[in-house]
Amino acid sequence: MNKAIQLSKGREKSIERFHPWIFSGAIVNITEGVDEGDVVDVNDHKGAFLARGHYADGSLAVKILTFQQEEINANWYFNRLKAAVELRKSIELPTKNTSAYRLVHGEGDSLPGLIVDVYADTVVLQPHSKGMTNSLPLIVDALKKLKFKNIIHKPIGKQKTEVLLGSVTDRIQIAEHGILYNVDALKGQKTGFFLDQRDNRKLLEAYSKKKSVLNVFSYSGGFSMAAAKGGASKVVSVDASQMALDLAEENAQLNGYSSIHTSLKVDAVPFIESMDEAFDVIILDPPAFAKHKSARHSAIQAYRRINEAAIKKLQPGGILFTFSCSQVVDRDLFSSTLVSAAINAGRQLQVLHHLRQPADHPVSIAHPEGEYLKGMVLRVLS
């Protein structure tokens, strides 16, 4: 008999819509011996099978792997990862000029709790659940069969990053739209680079010719290098991390942009509010200000404050690329926050683009929470 959870009557509606999450409040019974990370069947109030997924102790109790009565084994993981590879091939990733991309985007690739990013010949695995951590041997075996040679396991939190296959140095060189980047997959943020901004960095090139550009929360200078490639006259990278800025300086040198690129280790908001200089283009790509609903109000205040400060420091006709990656701040709420920031700044703005994550970060239509990245390109009218 499989380990299982049983739902209260009427709580199967989300599964009928193929939503991949079960919350603890929907559960009426758990079979004895179910541990964190176990594969469990999800049954309705009469005991009929609905789905199968990884169990977790907490509010989000089950992440659903399949709605079919199929074994979650080595063959299952191979088929899921093979499908992910085929999707990326269909959207032409990788290419000659772009060697880094997301191979698995959790629920969007029917592998909830798993992120897999590819940097040239190196794969970085980041499990977001105990179930996926327990499944790493099966995942690694599948990736080996799919011809990936170097594999890194980069857990969330304080656990040590480990090389599971091949050899990896502290710098992996990748290309993105012809720009070269050094990526620190062992010690860098997330899996090493922010691949979700690839299309938006390309768009920035078109707005950068002969412009002064300020990249705030720059990390390793992704937007900075794109602006420089686009012909910017001056690019300033701002971040609170010296390690990130060292990478940005490396990347500027790697591409021959050192003469126009400078970096500043400062706290972003006070810096923007106090600076005397106005810029033609400003990029705001902050970390998630809110990871839970309880922090949403304070996050909105933070987004409003920094966007207001940036809007005030733009030249007339200036361009703002601004983003939120907070899942609990939806697109409408982010937009209304920007309206408030513009009013407080006393400036009129035009909306030029609505931005989002690229196609290698797919979103299940049943799981809109997977579309976490929101962005806008705004132009100052006056």
Would you list the DSSP string of 142-193?
HHHHTT--EEEE--SSSSPPEEEES---S-EEEEETTEEEEE-TTTSSTTSS
**d(C-alpha 268, C-alpha 108), whole Å:** 33
Find the mean pLDDT for residues 335-353. 97
Burial label, 340 (beta-carbon count in 10 A; 0-12, 13-18, 19+): middle
Burial of residue 315 (CB within 10 Å: 0-12, 13-18, 19+) is: middle
- 168 touches 122 (CB < 8 A): yes
Q: What is the mean pLDDT of residues 355-361?
A: 98
Q: Band the pLDDT of 24: cuts 50, 70, 90.
A: very high
Which of the residues 100, 311, 325, 377 is marked catalytic?
A: 325
Give the single-character DSSP code of 135: T
Q: Which amino acid is at 212?
A: S
4-66: CATH topology is: 2.30.130
The third-level CATH classification (topology) of the domain covering 194-380 is: Rossmann fold (3.40.50)
In the annotation, is 325 catalytic? yes
* Whole-number pLDDT of residue 2: 87
Instruction: Please give the CATH superfamily to which domain 74-172 belongs.
Output: RNA methyltransferase domain (HRMD) like (3.30.750.80)
Number of neighbouring beta carbons within 10 Å of residue 152 = 23
Q: Contact, 104 vs 115, CB < 8 A?
A: yes
- Residue 35: enclosing H or E segment and its boundaries? none
- Per-residue pLDDT tens for 157-192? 888 999 999 999 889 999 999 999 999 999 999 999
Asked if 237 contacts 221 with a C-beta cutoff of 8 angstroms, the reply is: yes
Say which DSSP state 8 is in.
P
Predicted confidence at residue 55, as pLDDT, reads 98
What per-residue confidence (pLDDT) applies to 268? 92
What confidence tens digit (pLDDT) does each residue in 103-137 have? 999 999 999 999 999 999 999 999 999 999 999 99
Position 290 scores a pLDDT of 62
For residues 374-380, give the mean pLDDT. 97
CA separation for the pair 361, 105 (Å, rounded)? 5
Residue 220: pLDDT above 90?
yes
CB contact at 8 A, 242 and 280: no
Return phi, psi of residue 335, to 5°. Answer: -60, -45
Q: Is the pTM of this model over 0.75?
A: yes
Q: What's the mean per-residue pLDDT of the chain?
A: 96
Domain limits, the chain:
4-66, 74-172, 194-380
pLDDT at site 235: 98
What would the mean pLDDT of 209-220 be, rounded to a whole number? 98
Residue 297 pLDDT exceeds 90? no
